Amino acid sequence: MGRVKEFQPAKPWQQFLFAPVDIASMAVLRIGFGAILFWEVWRNFENGWIRSHYITRNIHFKHFGFE
């Protein structure tokens, strides 16, 4: 008797997702993402948005236990 081959639709995806890849693309992605985050934080500090939006607010919501 022959064996019945099991149907595994996720097998090609599993092979694709867990295949070894070069780490250089991930390094470039992380460096680029970090540069964008740094630029955005710097821009918020330079424009004074952090102070105006979070520190010197007129309305401060009270939370239970922190009143």
- Give a yes or no: residue 20 inside a domain: no
Kindly state whether residue 19 falls inside one of the protein's structural domains: no
Burial of 13 (0-12, 13-18, 19+ CB in 10 A): exposed
**What mean pLDDT comes out for the span 6-22?**
80
2 lies in a domain? no
Residue 51 belongs to some domain of the structure: yes
Task: Please report which confidence band the pLDDT of residue 63 belongs to, taking 50, 70 and 90 as the band edges.
Answer: confident
CA distance 64 to 27: 43
**Of the candidates 22, 42, 39, the residue with the CA atom closest to the CA atom of residue 31:** 39
Residue 30 lies in a domain: yes
Domain count, the chain: 1
State the residue range of the domain holding 50: 25-58
- Amino acid 4: pLDDT: 63
**For 20-37, how does the pLDDT look when each residue is reduced to its tens digit (9 = 90+)?**
889 999 999 999 999 999
Q: Tell me the pLDDT of the chain averaged across its residues.
A: 85
Residue 64 lies in a domain: no
